[in-house]
Copies of this chain bind each other. A is one copy, B any other.
Amino acid sequence: MSEEFNLIDRYFLPLCQPLFEGEVGIGDDGAVVTPLAGHQLVVVTDTLVKGVHFPNETCAYDIAWKALAVNLSDLAAMGAIPAFYTLALTLPENEPAWLSDFAQGLKDLGQRYQVALIGGDTTRGPLTITVTAHGWVPKEKAVLRSGAQSDDLICVSGTLGNAGLGLKLALKRLSESEQAWLTEEMATSCLQALNHPQPQLDLGLALRGVASAAIDVSDGLLADLGHILEQSSKGALSALGAEIYLDALPLSNALRRWVSNKRDWSLPLAAGDDYQLCFTLSEEVWEGLQQQAAKLGVEVHAIGRVTGENGIKIKQNMRSEGSVDEAWCHALNAGYQHF
């Protein structure tokens, strides 16, 4: 166990700054933090397992970045101000170079959003990383999954499917001809989307009091939108559904090429790991939110509409009659196989 203390002191103690007066960080049985007056505490937790949530070859810096980013993304989806986190790190061995890179990944992302490491546990075993992140939200102002209403617009930030294509690249699952569709720049940006997701924390704050529901796109657009519809249906008179318009889906250049060549929309519709926000809002507030997002430098797009009809219907565009041919979109029936 003294080894544990050395590890913590050397690599993780420097991440435990700054705390406020009267607070306690790493080095006691627990951390002590003063709540933000008038706010509620938001708690999120996500685990990454080697070979399940990231390819075996992923470098320590990227693993750490992602472990923290996916949690901050959950805070963003709640409209929370990120504050601090704990780290439970299970490691097969102590490699100083690996640990130093891992700590640097946490440090770089943590500094960007002013979130401090306040405590943790290091144990011996197969590489597994659990971060539990905490934020503050003004009392009863958290953005939930459960407020969507019929006729609300469905919107997303950024572009969709990049991390899914990045995963195919990382696992070397592209054929030569598929690879040829992508410039080096496109490939790099897809790998970046996979390994360095950017939690949409600023947008999350802008959604408070504006969005009727929000979720981060971790499992894939259809699955995550499904969670909003499920939670929101509980309070509705009848089950809610949605229409999604393919022409409106925001795609990067790489994804545009992929979709038009493959004639397959499963990456933007169902690949996970993009960590964009998917949210619903009433049409009246849409223009204001677009202006707000523009000020933040965040792209937002309306991609569909909540309906009073159960299920998610995929249309080519808003004016199309009926759903698109299912063959056009493998994701609808098969679901996307996560790594």
Known: A22-B139, A126-B128. A32 touches B28 (CB 8 A): no
A134-150 CB contact bits vs B (8 Å, 1 = yes)?
11010110101110000
Pick the interface stretch among A45-53, A152-160, A280-288, A317-325: A45-53
Pick the interface stretch among A215-223, A235-243, A251-259, A306-314: A215-223
A88 and B85 CA atoms in complex are apart in Å by 14
Would you call B41 and A1 a contact (CB within 8 A)?
Answer: no
Cross-chain contact of A45 among B24, B47, B50, B132 (Cβ < 8 A)? B132
Specify which chain B residues have a CB less than 8 angstroms from the CB of A47 in the assembled complex. 88, 90, 121, 123, 130
Closest to A215 in B: B29
- Tell whether A303 is near chain B: CB-to-CB under 8 Å: no
Closest to A23 in B: B40
Specify which chain B residues have a CB less than 8 angstroms from the CB of A168 in the assembled complex. none
Q: CB within 8 Å of B: which residues of A?
A: 1-2, 22-24, 27-35, 39-53, 74-75, 77-78, 80, 84, 86-88, 90, 118-121, 123-126, 128, 130, 132, 134-135, 137, 139-140, 142, 144-146, 214-216, 219, 223, 231, 272, 338
A-B pairs with beta carbons under 8 Å apart, 25 shown: A1-B272, A23-B40, A28-B144, A31-B42, A31-B43, A32-B78, A32-B142, A33-B40, A33-B41, A34-B41, A35-B39, A35-B40, A35-B41, A43-B134, A45-B132, A47-B88, A47-B123, A48-B123, A49-B125, A86-B132, A88-B132, A90-B128, A128-B128, A130-B132, A132-B132
| Besides A29-B145, A30-B44, A52-B125, 4 other A-B contacts (C-beta < 8 A) | A29-B44, A30-B77, A43-B119, A126-B128
